[in-house]
Amino acid sequence: MFCDSQENHPNIDDTQIERLITSKTKAIVVVHYAGVACEMDNICSIATKHNLFLIEDAAQAIDSFYKGRPLGSFGHFAAFSFHETKNVISGEGGMLVINDLDFVERAEIIREKGTNRSKFF
């Protein structure tokens, strides 16, 4: 399900999230548009209440904060972009932040194209 944006900003309208959750919902994905933080207090509470994964698209949010806490540190995962239009650039690069240690090994295998190369080394 897609949740609409706020009336005056492209960030998600957090007041509409809860009514869109169904038995099939697995995660809430938020975009911190232009590095402006979504309403993370409410969004984190909803994710916890409904036992959902929280994923932050923090592509534009490097060095951005919500109430003093860095964006990308709230969700189970957060993705940052190092595309040439961003503040930090590395060609095709990006960064996946994993805030739940249970997913680190799986992420390493995916990064290593389906192999256990990291473990091998």
Ligand X SMILES: Cc1ncc(COP(=O)(O)O)c(C=O)c1O
* Displacement of CA 49 from its chain's centroid (Å): 18
Q: How far is the CB of 57 from ligand X (least distance, A)?
A: 5
Active site residue 24: no
Q: Give the separation between CA 27 and CA 105, rounded to whole angstroms.
A: 20
For ligand X, which is the closer residue by CB, 47 or 78? 78
Pairing of strands 53-57, 27-31: parallel
Q: How far is the CB of 70 from ligand X (least distance, A)?
A: 16
Q: How far is the CB of 55 from ligand X (least distance, A)?
A: 11
31 binds ligand X (CB under 6 A): yes
47 neighbors 53 (Cβ within 8 angstroms): yes
DSSP letter at 34?
G
**Which spans of this chain sit near ligand X (rule: CB under 6 A)?**
31, 57, 59-60, 81, 83, 85, 94
Q: Which residues are catalytic?
A: 86
